[in-house]
Structure formats: structure tokens, C-alpha cells
């Protein structure tokens, strides 16, 4: 019997036109988009389907749009498989963790939409009120050397690791001056590539502490349930099921590192051999190829064609 994990992408996976195929072909997906438009009192659907790109890239829009597409993909999968394709675990990258919590029954659709919009608003506010932030992806340099360079670059300001994306890709974050200095040190230390990211702030760093603190107050009033399946949380790569633990970790996640590589490895150790990426693009599938052994399969659901292909493949192996 295969063990399945549902995985959900985060910021950076967005593209104009995303979710339109799901909306047009599946009533369950259409209902998700309509609910998002209604609850958030803005046209999430139009932003996803028509953009423009610049609007879709804004944090206050990106997070709710990607969440909506991921949940629409999940509901379409449920609809077409008649609920027979189920996950043993759920995991999401940064904002994708909210889709994972929805999949696990931690929050209903209304609450998860309100939570992700509040998170996005507070993060954008933190960007505007803190020192200028930046992020860079570091490819082909081991973690120890990266940490040594960050320690040296901290003389210029706050800089730390944001994402452990895969063994050869780590994202750094912090104050722009410190990140820029770290970029130079990392190149000198032998990084194959140093790629500055087009972001509006130093996400997953202490520059987001004000957002974390304010979100903690917001989360206190949310209706949060125990998870029906374990969610592997970004802040510690550990199985999480208790409502109170989610209430603690949700604010922490905004200003802490995303332990993605460690989370996927934890699932492999638990016997997961099948991943289904639900949401726009194939970013997480690409990371999985670098983390997982070849026999572990990752499938995608982002439109009608990919959904049908995934179900056909899973039926062929009797999932």
C-alpha cells in the first residue's frame, strides 16, 4: 500500500492564467474561487485568470491567489476521484502550509482564506515599516560554508537562512545591505550561482517579527481544529496535529526558516513514496527530484489535463 503526501507550493509559483482550467471544468473548483471572491471581497478569480502579472506579484494578492488555486486543485481531485485518493500526510511551502492545514481539516475554507489574507497584509505592512529587505537563492554551496559567510555578513546587518529548499539550494534573507554583502562572500566561497530574488522584503527573517507578533493576536480568535492527518510544519519539520500547536507555529512561521528539505526527508523516513503537488506549476516537483530517491514519484494537479494524467497514473499503480 502506497503512502501519499499532498504538497502545496508557496510564493513564486504564481502565473497569470492559473486555475482557469480548474474553474471551467470542475464545479468543486469553481465553488472555491467563488467563495474566495465572496469572503475576501475582491476578485481573486480575476487576479488569477487575468493578472496583470504586477498585481499578482504583490504579496497581498499572491498569497490568497495561490491558496485558492491549491484548494481548488484539491477539491477537483476529490471530485474526480470520488474521494478515493487520500493523503496520509500534508505539507506546504511557506504560505502553502495553509493549503496543507485546509487539507488536514485544521480550518474551514472561510477561516483559511481570512487567515492567509491577514498574514499577507501583515507581512506587507512589515516590509513597509522595516529596513529594506532582500533575499537570494544560493546554489551549489554546502550549509556550513553558507552559515560561515552569513556570520561574516552580519556585520552589515541582519541576515539568515530563509528556506532549506533542497540540498543544493538554500535561500538567504534579511536586511538588503547584509544580504548584498553575503552574496559577494558566497560567490568568493565557491557558490555555483547566487540569484537575487524579486521580492518586496526579507521574508522568513526577524524583519517580519512585527507581523508574527500581530498575527499571534489574530490567530488566538480563529477557529482551529485538531488535524485529521498530520501536517509537517515548516518551522521544525515535525508532525503536527494539535490545534494549540498550530496556533503557536502559525505566527512563528512568518519570521522563521522554512525547513523544506528536512520535512521531505522526514516523510521519506515515514515511508511516503508518492507525492501529489496541488497548485500552480511544478516548483515542488523540481525540488523533490533533488531530495528524493528515483523510485519516489511526484505527480501534479494544476489543470484539467494534469489532474486526469495524475488519476490515470495512480489508478495504474492501484493507489
Catalytic residues: 94, 204
What element of type H or E holds 139? strand 133-139
Identify the bridge partners of residue 159 per DSSP, sorted by sequence position.
174
Task: For strands 238-240 and 231-233, give the pairing.
Answer: antiparallel
Sheet holding 169-175, edge to edge: 159-166, 169-175, 133-139, 193-196
Q: What is the DSSP letter of 155?
A: G
Identify the bridge partners of residue 304 per DSSP, sorted by sequence position.
none
Can you spell out the DSSP letters for 169-237? EEEEEEEHHHHHHHHHHHHHTT-SEEEE---SS--SSGGGHHHHHHHHHHHHTS-----SS-EEETTTT
Q: How many residues are present in the chain?
A: 319
- 275-305 core/surface letters (b: 16 or more CB in 10 A; e: else): bbbbbbbbbbbebbeebbeeebbbbbbbbbe
Q: Are 100 and 54 in contact (CB under 8 A)?
A: no
The HSE-up count of residue 30 (CA atoms within 13 Å, CB side) is 6
Q: Are 264 and 242 in contact (CB under 8 A)?
A: no
Amino acid at each position: 500500500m502506497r503512502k501519499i503526501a499532498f504538497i502545496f507550493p508557496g510564493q513564486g509559483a504564481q502565473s497569470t492564467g492559473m486555475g482557469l482550467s480548474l474553474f471551467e471544468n470542475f464545479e468543486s473548483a469553481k465553488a472555491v474561487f467563488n467563495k474566495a471572491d465572496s469572503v475576501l471581497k475582491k476578485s481573486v478569480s480575476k487576479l488569477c485568470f487575468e493578472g496583470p502579472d504586477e498585481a499578482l506579484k504583490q504579496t497581498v494578492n499572491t498569497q490568497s491567489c495561490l491558496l485558492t488555486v491549491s484548494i481548488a486543485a484539491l477539491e477537483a481531485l476529490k471530485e474526480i476521484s470520488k474521494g478515493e485518493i487520500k493523503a496520509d500526510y500534508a505539507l506546504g511551502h511557506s504560505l502553502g502550509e495553509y493549503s496543507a492545514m485546509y487539507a488536514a481539516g485544521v480550518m474551514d475554507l472561510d477561516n483559511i482564506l481570512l487567515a492567509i489574507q491577514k498574514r499577507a497584509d501583515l507581512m506587507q505592512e512589515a516590509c513597509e515599516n522595516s529596513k529594506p529587505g532582500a533575499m537570494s537563492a544560493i546554489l551549489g554551496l554546502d550549509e556550513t560554508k553558507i552559515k560561515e559567510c552569513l556570520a561574516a555578513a552580519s556585520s552589515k546587518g541582519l541576515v539568515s537562512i530563509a528556506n532549506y529548499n533542497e540540498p543544493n539550494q538554500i535561500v538567504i534573507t534579511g536586511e538588503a545591505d547584509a544580504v548584498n554583502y553575503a552574496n559577494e562572500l558566497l560567490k568568493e566561497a565557491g557558490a555555483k550561482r547566487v540569484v537575487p530574488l524579486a521580492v518586496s522584503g526579507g521574508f522568513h527573517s526577524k524583519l517580519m517579527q512585527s507581523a508574527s507578533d500581530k498575527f499571534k493576536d489574530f490567530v488566538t480568535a480563529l477557529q482551529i481544529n485538531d488535524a485529521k492527518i498530520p501536517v509537517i510544519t515548516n518551522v521544525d519539520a515535525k508532525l503536527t496535529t494539535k490545534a494549540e500547536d498550530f496556533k503557536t507555529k502559525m505566527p512563528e512561521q512568518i519570521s522563521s526558516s522554512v525547513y523544506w528539505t528536512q520535512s521531505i526527508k522526514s516523510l521519506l523516513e515515514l515511508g511516503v513514496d508518492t507525492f501529489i503537488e496541488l497548485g500552480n506549476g511544478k516548483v515542488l516537483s523540481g525540488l523533490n527530484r533533488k531530495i528524493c530517491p528515483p523510485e519516489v514519484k511526484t505527480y501534479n494537479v494544476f489543470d484539467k489535463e494534469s489532474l486526469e494524467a495524475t488519476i490515470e497514473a495512480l489508478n495504474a499503480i492501484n493507489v
